[in-house]
Chains A and B, each alone.
Chain A
Amino acid sequence: MHSLFGNAAAVATGVFAAMRAKGRDTRVVAQAGDGGTVDIGLGPLSGMFERNDDVLFICYDNEAYMNTGVQRSGATPPAARTATTQAVGEHPGNVFGQGKDLPRIAMAHEIPYVATATVADLRDLEAKVEKAMAIRGARYIHVLVPCPLGWGSASKDTILLARLAQQSGLFPVFEAEFGEVTAVLPIRRRVPVTEYLQPQKRYAHLFGQTPDTETIERIQAQADRNLSRYHIDEVEI
Chain B
Amino acid sequence: MRKQIEGSAAVAQAVALARPEVICAYPISPQTHIVEALSAIVKSGDLQPCEFVNVESEFAAMSVAIGASAAGARAYTATASQGLLFMVEAVYNASGLGLPIVMTVANRAIGAPINIWNDHSDSMSQRDSGWIQLYAEDNQEAVDLHIQAFKLAETVSLPVMVCMDGFILTHAVEEVEMPDQATVDAFLPAFEPRQVLDPAEPVSIGAMVGPEAFMEVRYLAHRRQMEALEVIPAIAAEYGAVTGRVRDGLISRYRLDDAEIVVVALGSVIGTLQDTVDALREQGVLVGVLGITSFRPFPLESVRDALAGARSVVVLEKALAVGIGGIVANNVRTAVAGLAIDVRTVIAGLGGRPILGESLAEMIRGVDDLDELTFLDLRTELVERELQRNRATRRSGPTAENLLRDVGAVGDPLSVRMPR
Are A1 and B68 within 8 A (Cβ)? no
User: Interface residue count for B (Cβ, 8 Å)?
Assistant: 37
Given contacts A17-B24, A18-B22, A20-B51, contact A11 B67 (CB under 8 A): yes
Mask: chain B, 65-94; 1 = CB below 8 Å from A; 0 = not: 111111111010000000000000110010
Q: Say whether A22 faces chain B, with CB atoms less than 8 Å apart.
A: yes
Are A44 and B21 within 8 A (Cβ)? no
Determine which of B67, B97, B199 lies in contact with A10 in the assembled complex, contact meaning CB atoms within 8 Å.
Answer: B67
Mask: chain B, 390-406; 1 = CB below 8 Å from A; 0 = not: 00000000000000000
Are A44 and B60 within 8 A (Cβ)? yes
Are B67 and A43 within 8 A (Cβ)? no
Q: B60, B75, B90, B206: which has the most chain A beta carbons within 10 Å?
A: B60
Nearest residue in A to B89 (C-beta to C-beta)? A4
Are B21 and A18 within 8 A (Cβ)? yes
Q: Say whether B135 faces chain A, with CB atoms less than 8 Å apart.
A: no
**Nearest Cβ distance between residue A192 and chain B, in whole angstroms?**
42
Given contacts A1-B204, A22-B49, contact A47 B71 (CB under 8 A): no
Are B22 and A14 within 8 A (Cβ)? yes
Given contacts A11-B67, A14-B63, A14-B68, contact A3 B73 (CB under 8 A): no
Are B63 and A4 within 8 A (Cβ)? yes
User: Interface residue count for A (Cβ, 8 Å)?
Assistant: 28
Are B51 and A43 within 8 A (Cβ)? no
Q: B49, B55, B70, B71: which has the most chain A beta carbons within 10 Å?
A: B71
Chain A residues positioned under 8 Å from B197 (CB to CB):
1, 15
Are A7 and B205 within 8 A (Cβ)? no
Are A4 and B93 within 8 A (Cβ)? yes
Are B59 and A6 within 8 A (Cβ)? yes
Number of A-B contacts (CB under 8 A): 123
Q: Say whether A12 faces chain B, with CB atoms less than 8 Å apart.
A: yes
Mask: chain B, 37-56; 1 = CB below 8 Å from A; 0 = not: 00000000000011101111
Are A43 and B57 within 8 A (Cβ)? yes
Determine which of A11, A18, A21, A50 lies in contact with B63 in the assembled complex, contact meaning CB atoms within 8 Å.
Answer: A11
Complex Cα–Cα for A10 and B87 (A): 12
**Nearest Cβ distance between residue A11 and chain B, in whole angstroms?**
4
Chain A residues positioned under 8 Å from B93 (CB to CB):
3-4
**Nearest Cβ distance between residue B398 and chain A, in whole angstroms?**
30
Are B71 and A13 within 8 A (Cβ)? no
Are B56 and A47 within 8 A (Cβ)? yes
Determine which of A7, A12, A21, A43 lies in contact with B22 in the assembled complex, contact meaning CB atoms within 8 Å.
Answer: A21
Nearest residue in B to A5 (C-beta to C-beta)? B89
Q: Say whether B64 faces chain A, with CB atoms less than 8 Å apart.
A: yes
Q: Say whether A228 faces chain B, with CB atoms less than 8 Å apart.
A: no
Nearest residue in A to B59 (C-beta to C-beta)? A7
Mask: chain A, 11-32; 1 = CB below 8 Å from B; 0 = not: 1111111111111001000000
Q: Say whether A46 faces chain B, with CB atoms less than 8 Å apart.
A: yes
Residue ranges of B at the interface with A (Cβ–Cβ < 8 Å):
21-22, 24, 49-51, 53-57, 59-61, 63-73, 75, 89-90, 93, 97, 197-199, 204-207
Closest 10 CB pairs of A and B: A14-B67, A10-B63, A18-B73, A47-B56, A18-B71, A2-B206, A7-B63, A11-B67, A14-B68, A17-B51
Residue ranges of A at the interface with B (Cβ–Cβ < 8 Å):
1-4, 6-7, 9-23, 26, 43-44, 46-47, 50-51
30 pairs, A vs B, C-beta closer than 8 Å: A1-B197, A1-B206, A2-B207, A3-B67, A3-B70, A3-B93, A4-B93, A7-B60, A10-B55, A10-B59, A10-B60, A11-B70, A13-B67, A14-B63, A14-B70, A14-B73, A15-B67, A15-B71, A17-B64, A20-B49, A22-B21, A22-B73, A26-B199, A43-B56, A43-B59, A44-B55, A44-B57, A47-B55, A47-B60, A50-B56
